[in-house]
Each structure stands twice: as C-alpha cells, then as structure tokens.
Structure 1
Amino acid sequence: MRRPKLMGAGPEAQPAGGSALPPLHSSGFRPTPVGMTLDPNQSLAQAYALLQRGDVRGARGLVAGVLRSYPTAPSALSLMALVELTGLQRQGGDAKPALAAFAAAIKVAPRDPQLFNNLGNLHKTLGATDDALAAYRKAISLNPNFADAHANYGIVAQTAGLYEDALPALQKAATLAPTMARAWSSLGLCLRELGQHDVAAEALDRALALDAKSPIALRGRAIVEAERGGPEAASLYHRAAQALPDDLEVALGAAVARHESGDSAGAVAALAAKVAAHPDWTAGHEALAKLRFQVGEADSFTSSYDDALAQRPGDKALWLGVMRTLAQSRRWEDLAARAKAASAAAGADPLFDLAAAMAASELGDKAGAAFEGLEPALGKERFFATAWARHLLRAREPKRAAAVIEPWTGSGAASDQLAWALLATAWRMDGDARYDWLADTATLTRAVALDISADEMAATADVLRKLHKAREHPFDQTLRGGTQTEGTLFLRSDPAIVRLRLAIEEGIRTYIDGLPPVDSAHPLLGRPRGGFRFTGSWSVRLRAGGTHVNHVHPEGWLSSACYVALPAGAMGGPKHAGWLSLGMPPVELDLGLPALAMIEPKVGTLALFPSYMWHGTEPFDDGERMTVAFDVVPDAG
C-alpha cells in the first residue's frame, strides 16, 4: 500500500505586534480629524474584528480610511498588510497589493517580528519557500522567543522536505508554547519522516490532548501507529475515519489496518463501499484489488474497476488504473483486451497503445513496430524506455536495447536500478566487457554471518509468523507461493525485531567496509560509504513450492535476504532448491542466461548485493522458508 505523505498544519497569520491589536495612540495619533466618526484606534479594532469574521473588503475600507489621515501609522500599515494577506489567501488574485502593503509596513516598523512572521506567511502562500524561511528567520532574530515564528518556520521547512532543519524549530515552538497544538502535531509528523516513530507518537498524543479533533493529528497518529506495528492502529484509524469521513487516504489506511488486525472481510467490505461511493478514486480501486487478491479473491480482484467503468466508460484514469493493475499481476491477455476496450470507449491514447504493445511483447507476439511508433509520443518517458528495452532484449537486439536504456541509468543518488539491470543484460548478451565491471559477484556480493544466536532467530521467527496475515502474495510483488508483511518492518518496536535490525546494521557495515575502491562512474561503488538508512523492510514467508521470480529493487542501493527460518532437508541438491540466485534475468525474457552465483541460505546469515542485480529464489518442495529483506541507501549523495 502507498505510504501517505503528511503535511503539517499551515502557518498562521497574526496581526502585527502580537496576537491582540496594539493600541494605536502609542504611535502618535493626533486628535480625531473632523469628518471621522471613530477615532483611529476604534476604526482599526473594528477592522480587525471584520477581518476575523471574513469581511476582507470591509476591513480594507476601514484601514484605508485611517491611512488617509495617518499614512505612516505603523499599526495601520501592519494591519493593512494582514488584510491584504488574508484576502490573497481566501480569494486569490494579484499578489502585488499584499507585497506593497508589507513593504510599506516594514519601512516604518523594520524591527517588528510579527510583521516579518506574516511576511513569511505571504511568501508561503505564493509558494516562495526560500523567501518564507528567510522572513521567519528574521522574525526569530528580532524575538528569539517568538513561538509562532518558530512553528511557521518548522512547518514550511517540513513541507519542503527539510526535516533536519524543521525539527529544532518545531521543538523550540513546542517548548515555548506547550499548549500550541499545531506545533505538537507538526513536530510529530516531522519525527515520523525522520524515522523516530515512538517519539512522534508521543508528540501527536500531546497534540490530540490539546485539540482532540485536529485532522492532521488524528490522521498522523493513526499512520504512525500502523507504520510501527502498534496494536492500536485499527482503533486509531477508526477514530480518524469517523472524524474525517471524506478523507479517502484515511479510509484506505483504515481498511489496511483492519486487515492487519485480522478482519480481512470487514476491510474489503469497508473499502469496497468507499470505492463504490467514489468511483473515480483510482488509488482506492488499486488498493482494493490488492487486498482482494491477498485474501484469496483472485477471480474477482478487479471487479470494482468494472463497476466504475460501467458508470464512467470515458474515464481514462480508470482505464489506466485497471491496466496498471493487470500489468503488475502479469495478466497479459486481460491487459490486451482492456487496452482495446479502452480505446473503443474513451478514445485513442498513446498509453493505451503502450499497454497493448507490452501485452503483445509479453505474450510473444510481434510488437517492435508498435514500440517504434510510440517513440514520438512517449520517447521522453522513463516507463516507455524500460518497456521498450525489455522488449528489445526479448527480441535479441541487445545493442538497440542498450541505446534505448543507457540514457536513463543516471548516476549517484539519481541512479536508476532497473535501467542499470536492463543495460547490464544488454551488455552481457553483446559480450561487452563493461558487464564484468558492473556484475562482478566475487567482489559485489557477500554472505555475512550475523552476530545473533539461534534462540534469538527462533524468537524472531515466532514474531514474524504472527505478522503474515494474508493468504496470498501481493500481486505487484515478486514472490509466488507465499506471503509478505505490510508496512515497514524495522519501524516495529518488538524487541526481537529491534535486535535483528541492530545485527543487520552491523552486517551492512561489514559489507560496505569490504567493498572495492570508490569508482565514481559505478552505480554501487560510486556512492558515499558513511552512514546509511533503510528505505524499506519486510518479511517474506514462502511455503512448499514457493519462489521469487528474478527481479531488482528500484528503491535501493544495497538489497538483501536475511534467513530467519528454513525447511529441514528440503534445500539444496542439484537444482539448488531454495537457494538465492544472482545475475539471472527474468525467465520470461527467454534469454537462456544462467545465474552468475548461487548463495546457500543459512539461518542467521545475511546475503547482500547491489540493488540493480537480478536475483530470485529457486523453488523448494516442502516446509517454510522465511526471510527478512530490506533496501538500503547512503545517507547522502
């Protein structure tokens, strides 16, 4: 299931000078001029009251009246800036009046921290993140104890993905204003992004204690609980769903949490009802299809798409959604039929034609002309290049495949693991010496014995068995004849899993320290070797006859298999039953290229290899084969 992206509560605009309108007589107002029915303080107080009620036009008129008599009054200029900001936030339109109002106010009050705080909010509204952060920094420099400015800085930095920068600002805001719910909720979301889920849960609990109906805190707390495998995930999602009945991401998370709690039938029913009420919700259809497949409803797992398309036959997004689902589940004949039906119902689209070409290629039909015909429309898209290169490999045209995919390989942090795998296969087929540079299993792969006892591994196996809730594998994953855990395994706080993670981290360090010298052009050897972090972690449990089809890991730099439990007497032999194969391309490409190396699984052993290297598991006859797998990337670079 998709990992939700959460944003913090939005920055709050405040009247310049503080949370209450400052007395204007302190700015040197003369007696009320003849013709004014209110003194300037009363006018501005009334304008602020109108602004709080949403009457931007009325507030603007009153402030403009004061400014006609007192054109340099700081409080009047500051309030006009706030009026223009509020109008822009609520009504949109030209930003020039708001920018001019702030410039005028700052000219007469250059040391007003609230004014710079609101200027930051203006820049945030305009999407100018750097300018917003600079304005908040100025506000903080003028008043280091300005909680709102710290909170706003942290929220905008967090939204921009600058989590390390956001964290101290949000911590400071929560310390200065311990009753500020939005500071705690944003702090919790920031900690979640940094992988500190236990502390994130505490911060979000503080936010909910202050504001029990906060949608951001409710949603965030449920997600954090689910991601760390907490026992309250289903109930927290239920609470969030009741408070946010129109939030489809919450509905999706609630269904997954319900499935994980053991109520798969209820999860399917609830998500199906939500999808029926929102037939254009493609993410919901995809999640429902996955859930149905995993609980054993493979014969009807795409039925929600069918119902929605009966209502909305011209909805191209729905057609593409069902075709993506069919491609992920390798239902190639069904994909070919859907591509044809989509063109008839929704009109021509190059993406429909690509689906037809992919299906034809996978079914062994001629598809070269179709791919070539799509190049003008889709040639600048990565997904097209990978599909075309895959077809060219199958068609035994390695030079053309290399020419198509090599521009997409990238380097450093931008390395594309699948593109490198396809290029490596083309080089291998063509006898290119660069293949040995890329796929040297003697130096780039390793089996590391973990510093963990047999009893500890047995305890870990018992914990993992309880997490395998599904009946079938996820259709968009590579295992066959088994199940895979949901979520991020290493976020769970169970002592056995924590102990295994720590041992694995030591094993990764050993592997990295033993790599050949740095080679800046190499997708593995060119990356930084200091710190590292996990980008995903999960457990796979294969039953008799289970296997992994050969694949790569697009989200990694290093990938793995850690052996937790193995069947007695069912492994090995002349066919290497249950062993890890390295370097063999997907068998459906029919290239006849064997594995470069085989790794024998042993409980307590960690196999490590480049994420771009094809790998799979040979089938075995009996018993249970349980592993923990993960992807790792450098902390920087």
Structure 2
Amino acid sequence: MMAIDWLQIGLAQRDLQDMEGALEALERAVTDNPTNPIAAFAHAQVRFETGRDAVAAFERALHFDPANPQLIRTYTAALAAEGEAERAQSILLDTLALHPQWLDGHKSLATLRVAIGARESFDESYQRAIAALPDSLSLRLAHIHLLSTARAWEAARASVEAARQAFGPSRGLEVARISIESESGGPLSRDPDLFDALADWADPGLDVCRVRHALRLGNPEAALARAKPYLSTPHARLFWPYVSLCWRLLNDPLSDWLDGMTADYVRAIDLDLNTTELAELATRLRALHTAQAPYIEQSVKGGTQTDRQLFFRPITIIQLVRDKIVKAVATYLAELPSQQTAHPLLAPPRDRPILFEGSWSVLLKAGGFHSIHTHPRGWISSALHIDMPSATDAGPAPAGYLQFGEGPPELNLALGVSHQVAPQAGTLVLFPSTHWHRTVPIEAGERLSLAFDIREPA
C-alpha cells in the first residue's frame, strides 16, 4: 500500500474517532514517506489529540512546513501541555511580531495566558499589534470580541471608542458597541431602541443579542419573532434555548412539546462502576487538571476544565468508561419518543454511529459551580459524577445539584428550576444540549465530574 493510502486511511479513521487506528495508519504514512508535510502534520496532530508526547512530531512537521500558522498554533499548544508554557508563549510572541494580523495566534496566546493564571496580561499581544498596525480594523474587532467574551466590559468599551476615533463610522464597530451596551448591564442595557440603528442588518450573532435584549426588557413576543426564522437554518441550535424561554414565559403549550416535562428527557443512569474503578478514574482525571484557571469561554467558575478530547486518550479506565457511556447513550436514544420533524432532540436519526463533539473533566473547588448555560454545538449533553464532597462539605441541599430550567440570571426572567438531580458518584446524567442547566455552588471540598457532548448525526 502506498504512503498516500495510509494517510487517507488515517484521516478517515480520525473522522470516525478511531484514534488508535488513525495513529497506526499515520505512523505507516510517515514511515513510508517521511517528507510528506501533510502526513507529518496529521501524525503530530493525532499524537497531540490522544494525549501523547507530540512536541518532537510537531518539530518534524515544522521542518517541512515552517510557515504553516495552524501547525505553529497546535505545536505551541503541545509545548504548553508538556510543561513548556514559557517556550510556547515565546514562539507565539515571535511569530506574532512577524505576523501581527495572525488573529488565531493572538487568541491562542490569550487563551494560554488565562490557563496559566496570567489573566491580567492576557490581551497584551493584541495591544502590541494594534500599536504596530493602527490601521487594521480586523485586529481591533478581534480584540474587542476577546474582551467581550472575557466580560471585560470597561476595557471593551474603551477599545470600541478608540477604534471609532481612529476609523470613524463603521458597521462592525457599531455592532460591537451596541452588543456590549446590551450585554454589560449598563444604562443602555434596558433601552428599547438600542438596536434601531442596525434595523437593516441581519446576522445570527447579532440576532442572538437582539433576542436576549428583548427578553431582558420583558418582551418574549419580540424575542420569539426574532428567533423563530432561524429554527429551520444551520443556526437553529443557537436559538432553540431562547425559544424555550419564550414559550415558557408565554405559557405556550409548545413548551411541553419542546422540553417535555424535562424529566422525560433528563435521565440519570447508573454506569455500574465499582469503588476501585471510580477511585482509579478520579486519580487519572485529577492528574489531567493542569490549568490554573478556566478558559475564557467556559461556564466553569471556581475550578478547572481539562483540555483536548478526554475520550481520545488511550487510558484504560477512561476507555472503559467511554464504552459504558456509548452503551448508555444508545439506550437513552432507544427509549426516547418517536422521531418528530423539527424537534432538536427527536428529529435526528438514531441509527448512526455515536460520535463525540467534545469530552472533558471539570474539577470544582470550594465555592465552585457551573454558571447557567447550554451546549449549542451538541445534540445530547451529560454529566458523569465521579467524586463528590460529603454532604457536610457541600452544604445544605441543593448544594452541588445539577439544575435545569432557569434562564441566564442577567436576563431577569424569574423562571424557576424545572428539574434537578442530586449528584451521586458513578451516575451519568444525559439531557438535551438545548436545555439550560447549571450546578449549585459547593461550600467546601471538591466536585469531580466528566462530561461530553454527543454530535448531532448528519
């Protein structure tokens, strides 16, 4: 078999999430054709994704393709994962000095700095690049987006104002300004006319802001009218959670159609893990919690989340749990009501391979919790409880519980909890990715869990 065939097999196995099969094929590909840059990159990438040492493989790939920005970005992530965060930062900074408009590089460096606890300077590279390229609007907008994602509202406002003075009127800056005013809780966050200047501008991200703004103003009818046209588009999963809130606020019977009685779609399943297996899993997962702080986009507060796909790691206990989870998800799907057109949980086919959109572990410390959120990239989401604080440490019930139904607190919707699950070690909770959910803070101890999203079948 030719090297190109092994490369194609490796890439196909990776798409099917057979990572060990992918790695075996890609090792054959680089052995048979060691100078092929695509094979070298793919081989390094799969080593990295499976939690193996990958720095040397990336350095071989860089020898053949030294200017590939995606390769440099992943190489620096591998360096950081293998304990060389300072070297990773240095490489990113050097590359950004040569290519100050490399937006993915800026975001990678900012993410790395947050993860190692250097949040106070996480956007430094953006500031340097803006000083070097004051005429780059795309760079300014990327910086503003980062600050908004980090909820650094005052810095975001200042960045918008500086850009407006430098560039004058700009549709992109106006979208950024209005979105920040709506989301930051300032005086304009309750202005009913805030979005009027953008009345002719249709954009999914902007329309999510419009939906949230209408809900914040107590106008679910307007929010629903804005959201419904997206339900038949590829952006539907951004809007279904808000449609759920609208229907509940309007006492629309379609709320029951969408969410069921919540308990119908939220299932707690005993994975039959014994004490020894749970203890080994906890030990293995704790060793993977190397970040000093959660990433910018995450719902984790007062804890950390692991990086990369957890289920791609060739760790025996993790693969045992993955196998049990795949069986549990298959049972969950088989027990759901029959398929229903247009329903985000019930419409997709159920006879396809079960693939993961992501898998990770969360370790919460005293006072830690998950803020209210959904999983717009998933179809079915989860929480596998592994190690829970004692009842005394956690605090009075419902401390540590997984709760469903409340909307984002900043929208002030006064919707109560529709369902809650008390965490028990070894119990897997499955639920639709469109469901709003959170965990109640714990007072002391640690709350260790494993989570994943199931990818919607094509």
Give your verdict on TM over 0.5: yes
Q: CA separation in 1, counterparts of 2:250 and 2:132?
A: 50
Q: CA separation in 2, counterparts of 1:625 and 1:431?
A: 36
Contact 1:219 1:240 in 2 (8 A): yes
Q: 1:423 aligns with which of 236, 240, 243?
A: 243
Q: CA separation in 1, counterparts of 2:58 and 2:364?
A: 30
Q: Secondary structure at the match of 2:358?
A: strand
Alignment-mate amino acid for residue 391 of structure 2: G
- Residue 189 (str. 1) matches residue 11 (str. 2): yes
Aligned equivalent of 2:87: 266
Q: 1:478 aligns with which of 278, 286, 299?
A: 299
- Residue 630 (str. 1) matches residue 452 (str. 2): yes
Q: CA separation in 1, counterparts of 2:22 and 2:337?
A: 39
Q: CA separation in 2, counterparts of 1:570 and 1:221?
A: 48
Contact 2:182 2:209 in 1 (8 A): no
Q: CA separation in 1, counterparts of 2:351 and 2:362?
A: 29
- Residue 389 (str. 1) matches residue 211 (str. 2): yes
Q: Secondary structure at the match of 1:456?
A: helix
Aligned equivalent of 2:133: 312
Following superposition, the deviation at residue 576 of structure 1 comes to 1.0
Q: CA separation in 1, counterparts of 2:396 and 2:287?
A: 33
Aligned equivalent of 2:198: 374
Contact 1:262 1:469 in 2 (8 A): no
Following superposition, the deviation at residue 518 of structure 1 comes to 2.7
Aligned equivalent of 2:256: 436
Scaled by the length of structure 2, what TM-score is found?
A: 0.95
1:431-458 deviation per Cα after TM superposition (whole angstroms, max 9, x unaligned) = 2221222222121111111122121121
1:515-543 deviation per Cα after TM superposition (whole angstroms, max 9, x unaligned) = 22332232112222223321111111111
Q: Structure 2: any 5+ residue segments left out of the alignment?
A: none
Q: 1:617 aligns with which of 424, 439, 456?
A: 439
Q: 1:594 aligns with which of 400, 416, 435?
A: 416
Aligned equivalent of 2:358: 536
Contact 2:394 2:444 in 1 (8 A): no
- Residue 490 (str. 1) matches residue 314 (str. 2): no
Q: Which has the higher contact order (CA 8 A, sep 6+)?
A: 2
Following superposition, the deviation at residue 263 of structure 1 comes to 2.0
The residue correspondences of 1:137-536 to structure 2 (distance < 5 A) are: 174=1, 180-230=2-52, 232-364=53-185, 365-366=187-188, 367-376=191-200, 378-379=201-202, 381-410=203-232, 414=234, 416-439=236-259, 440-531=261-352, 532-536=354-358
Q: Secondary structure at the match of 1:471?
A: coil
Q: Secondary structure at the match of 1:268?
A: helix
Following superposition, the deviation at residue 634 of structure 1 comes to 4.5
Aligned equivalent of 1:51: none
Q: CA separation in 2, counterparts of 1:575 and 1:560?
A: 21
The residue correspondences of 1:11-90 to structure 2 (distance < 5 A) are: none
Contact 1:484 1:540 in 2 (8 A): yes
Following superposition, the deviation at residue 202 of structure 1 comes to 2.0
Cα 1:187–1:517 shift into 2, 3 Å:
closer
Q: Secondary structure at the match of 2:372?
A: strand
Following superposition, the deviation at residue 199 of structure 1 comes to 1.9
Q: CA separation in 2, counterparts of 1:183 and 1:442?
A: 48
Alignment-mate amino acid for residue 501 of structure 1: R
Contact 2:17 2:355 in 1 (8 A): no
Q: Secondary structure at the match of 2:451?
A: strand
Contact 2:403 2:420 in 1 (8 A): yes
Alignment-mate amino acid for residue 433 of structure 1: P
Alignment-mate amino acid for residue 419 of structure 1: F
Alignment-mate amino acid for residue 361 of structure 1: S
Q: Which moved further from structure 2: 191-200 or 596-605?
A: 191-200
Q: CA separation in 2, counterparts of 1:575 and 1:360?
A: 37
Alignment-mate amino acid for residue 317 of structure 2: A
Contact 1:290 1:474 in 2 (8 A): yes
**Moved segments of 4+, more than 4 Å:** 570-575
- Residue 583 (str. 1) matches residue 405 (str. 2): yes
Q: Secondary structure at the match of 1:576?
A: coil
Q: CA separation in 1, counterparts of 2:418 and 2:410?
A: 18
Q: Secondary structure at the match of 1:344?
A: helix
Q: CA separation in 2, counterparts of 1:598 and 1:482?
A: 21
Alignment-mate amino acid for residue 426 of structure 1: C
Contact 1:571 1:578 in 2 (8 A): no
Q: CA separation in 1, counterparts of 2:369 and 2:217?
A: 26
Q: Tell me which protein shows more helix as a share of its residues.
A: 1
Alignment-mate amino acid for residue 68 of structure 2: D
1:465-496 deviation per Cα after TM superposition (whole angstroms, max 9, x unaligned) = 11111100001111111111111111111101
Alignment-mate amino acid for residue 296 of structure 1: G
How many positions carry a matched residue from both structures?
Answer: 453
Scaled by the length of structure 1, what TM-score is found?
A: 0.69
Q: Secondary structure at the match of 1:443?
A: coil
Contact 2:383 2:428 in 1 (8 A): yes
Q: How high is the sequence identity, in percent, across the aligned residues?
A: 37
Q: Which moved further from structure 2: 508-517 or 400-409?
A: 508-517
Contact 1:333 1:359 in 2 (8 A): no
Q: CA separation in 1, counterparts of 2:132 and 2:385?
A: 48
Q: CA separation in 1, counterparts of 2:361 and 2:440?
A: 17
Q: CA separation in 2, counterparts of 1:240 and 1:437?
A: 51
1:343-376 deviation per Cα after TM superposition (whole angstroms, max 9, x unaligned) = 2223432221121112111233224423122131
Q: Structure 1: any 5+ residue segments left out of the alignment?
A: 1-173, 175-179
1:310-338 deviation per Cα after TM superposition (whole angstroms, max 9, x unaligned) = 01112121112112211221112222222
Q: Secondary structure at the match of 2:131?
A: helix
Q: Secondary structure at the match of 1:369?
A: coil
Q: CA separation in 1, counterparts of 2:32 and 2:164?
A: 53
Q: CA separation in 1, counterparts of 2:328 and 2:28?
A: 37
Q: Which moved further from structure 2: 398-407 or 525-534?
A: 525-534
Q: CA separation in 2, counterparts of 1:524 and 1:635?
A: 11
